[in-house]
A = this chain, B = another copy of it.
Amino acid sequence: MIDIEYLKNRRTKLANLIDVPTVLWSGKSPSKNFRANHYPFRASSHFLYFAGLPLENAAIKLDNGNLDLFMDNPHPDSSLWHGEMPRREDIALQIGADNAYPMEVLKEQINEVATIPVQDVFTYTKQREILQRSLSINKELNQVDEQLIKAVISLRLTHDKIGLEEIKKAINVSVEAHKIGINSTKKSKTEAEVRAAMESYIISQNMTCAYNSIVTVNGEVLHNETYNNQLKSGDLLLADVGAETPLGWASDITRTWPVSGHFSSSQRDIYDIVLAAHDACIEGIKPGVEYRDIHLLGAKIIAEGLVNLGILKGDLEHLVDKDAHAIFFPHGLGHLLGLDVHDMEDLGDLAGYEEGRTRSERFGLGYLRLDRPLKGGMVVTIEPGFYQVPAILNNPKFQQKYQNDVNWEKLKQFSDVRGIRIEDDILVTETGAEILTKNLPTKAIDIEEMMS
């Protein structure tokens, strides 16, 4: 199931980039109600990248291309509850480990090693105990950890063949889930029913959701995680749903479609602007191009469309420079995709931002998650949107700043457009871009046809 050669290749590449040994922990599933009722286990992505399998309560030591596995065998009683589980030696063979030891041996082998803090707080505490030093991404980053993190970023920024295959598997399932969501909407009464139809397909394929799904008629709430609303004819439904493979690789897709099966003319007008931005941004992707420039290209096309509709007014360059588009498109164009849906966001902006760059103070750029020149082998999302966010539109500060840039009266004609986003996953190739999510239609007319 695992291609050991690719794993070994990753380990060798790491060894070429860092000269201290590395120890990575996998973490353990957090308790929900009590220890036996836990959340589903999700291994640390850095661990997964080099170990290949989601082993709970395990650690690996990477040194000069070799991998030593540290994990305890299942408790003798556990076979009653969990069946016969593979033993350490079997797993070592599966993942191409050079040595395998019980967990308690790890502390004897730790002496000046680099690591990355895990998300699971229980394991993070153990990690600090065993290393006897502080661990932090944001401040006082330890020097060897920094060296490791830079090396890991340089590897994980672009994907090898098995990584890409996994992402494609996740994408194929997500594409199907979105088709099912679109097809099931007319017979659904609530957001929850459409969400159920979509996630059901993901579950049926033995995958999980890469993130908490957004399925909402209130698309203007960017990270909406409630599903209580009734669907009403005239609503747009925004669905941001993506599958994750059993080995941990993510996909991330958003579509927005009309509950009735037909976009109103105001919805269609805005939809086509978002789509034009989406298409132009993808068209602009190739190695060497700055992602930030692609973001600004999207911003410009949205601003241009809104000027044409009469929602924004004035000089286009001037509008984009003062972030007038960001009233309606306040987030960044997209992010890295890989083992995490925002790949390596556990490292703060270290992965998303080229060394030496930091977040902009600008309203229209501050939420940008990716600011690097693109490279062949990267997978990024392109997800422009249009939203009428009450917290922005009703904010006196914004109202004043953009008083003369927005035709507030005209805007009222578009009150049935609360939120639209169109998001695809794009592989940067050696010469341009490949839309990995291309089997899911984006055009309004194609979506209407699917629903008819």
Contact = CB atoms under 8 A, between A and B. Distances in A.
Interface of A: 30-40, 42, 45, 79-84, 119-122, 125, 190, 192-193, 195-197, 199-206, 211-212, 218, 220-225, 227-228, 330, 339-342, 345-346, 389-392
Given A121-B30, A221-B82, A340 B37 contact: yes
A204 B389 CA distance: 27
Contacts of A228: 206
Contacts of A30: 30, 39, 119-121
A247 to B, nearest CB: 13
Contact of A121 (B33, B83, B122, B202): B122
How many copies of this chain sit in the oligomeric assembly? 2
A379 to B, nearest CB: 15
A418 to B, nearest CB: 11
Which 10 residue pairs spanning A and B have beta carbons closest together? Answer: A200-B200, A196-B204, A79-B391, A83-B221, A196-B203, A121-B121, A30-B30, A34-B345, A31-B119, A34-B346
B223 A33 contact: no
Given A40-B212, A122-B121, A203-B200, A33 B227 contact: no
A83 B224 contact: yes
A204 B221 contact: no
A203 to B, nearest CB: 4
Contact of A45 (B33, B80, B197, B205): B33
B223 A81 contact: yes
Nearest to A191: B206
A225 B34 CA distance: 17
Given A199-B200, A204-B192, A222 B81 contact: yes
